[in-house]
Amino acid sequence: MSAHLTMETLLAGLAKNRFIIVGRVGMDVIADPPGTRTEDMQTAIVAMGGSSANIAAGIVKLGGHADLVTRVSDDSIGRYCTNQLKHYGVGTQYVQPVGGEHRSSLAVYESTIEDHQTVIYRNGAADFALSEQDVEAVDYSAYGALITAGTVFAAEPSRSATFRAFELAKQAGLPIIFDVDYRPYSWPSREVAADVLSRAGALSDVIVGNDVEFGFMAGDYDKGLDKARELAEQSAIITVYKMGEKGAITFAGGEGSISEVRTGIYPVDALKPEGAGDSFMAGFMASMASGHGLKETLLRSSACASITVSKPACAPAMPTIADLDAFLQTHPGPTQA
């Protein structure tokens, strides 16, 4: 499958700095103070969570516009999620409640790195109730790009709804931005996940994932980098292969003219792993929208991730433009790729 857009049309879409984001919003409960094990906690920090919601909040904090398309439970937790989106300036006109036994997701985790524990409650997840009618209500012409994370594809009707959103976004000329975000606990099997995520990747113009996720899509961890390169050659305009502390390898250009960019990271004393990928994606979108070149965009994205893992919670820890600029001016990085 050939790239659906050129690099020029991709950049033109991102330059609008207006994003429609499909995916979940939930509640995070974080043991407090930092270092406290979940089983020992007496007090906790409560914050907005969910990969797509975090990406949206991160984009807004960096000066962009983002609207979320999702379902939340028709209860106090769902209303909390909607209120938090509004608090961060994320548009909620396409956030709809769903009743019955559906519940907005809950994540309980620690501000620790060693033997880190995260418990995520996703049974009857409200966001999986997203329907084709929900995504058909969106005015895609008002946006410059569509973003989603892989969790939306893990169950129906959300899976079909998101593929329908891809179709409608493409009809409107929007680039598709895909964060692989593979979460095994959400899927019925590895085989289904590999098939569906690969289908989504083949339809996307920008794909961001880590080495484990690309390895999973390839069916072999050692073939993950080859899978990322293959997607860049066959369909995606930009493919970002993240390798944790080893930095990232990015393939760009589309079919017939692939360039490779290697970038390092900004080492920090991390409190927790959560939020790194979401903040990276927010930084990537905001930096591309602001006209930064690819390598500088990747470094700014890496800095966003480092800032976020060095503080408690996710959305509250994501940087503003001032935070990011101050970090880049004072941090002795990045590492060499």
Render pLDDT for 241-298 as a digit per residue (tens, 0 to 9): 999 999 999 999 865 678 999 999 999 999 999 999 999 999 999 999 999 999 999 9
The segments of the chain whose pLDDT lies below 50 read 1-3
Residue 6 CA to residue 175 CA, distance in Å, equals 10
Tokens 């509004």, residue located:
86
Task: Name the superfamily (CATH) of residues 7-330.
Answer: Ribokinase (3.40.1190.20)
Residue 269 CA to residue 285 CA, distance in Å, equals 25
- Per-domain residue ranges of the chain: 7-330
Beta strands in 23-149 (DSSP E): 26-32, 43-49, 65-73, 91-98, 106-109, 118-121, 145-149
Whole-number CA gyration radius for the chain:
18
Residue 52 CA to residue 30 CA, distance in Å, equals 19
User: Which pLDDT score, from 0 to 100, does residue 4 have?
Assistant: 66
User: Which pLDDT score, from 0 to 100, does residue 153 have?
Assistant: 97
User: Which pLDDT score, from 0 to 100, does residue 318 have?
Assistant: 98
Tokens 């709804």, residue located:
161
Residue 49 CA: distances (Å) to CA of 36, 45, 257: 20, 12, 38
- 291 and 38 in contact (C-beta within 8 Å)? no
User: Which pLDDT score, from 0 to 100, does residue 3 have?
Assistant: 43
Residue 31 CA to residue 43 CA, distance in Å, equals 6
DSSP character at residue 103: B
User: Which pLDDT score, from 0 to 100, does residue 336 have?
Assistant: 84
Its pTM stands at 0.97
User: Which pLDDT score, from 0 to 100, does residue 1 have?
Assistant: 34
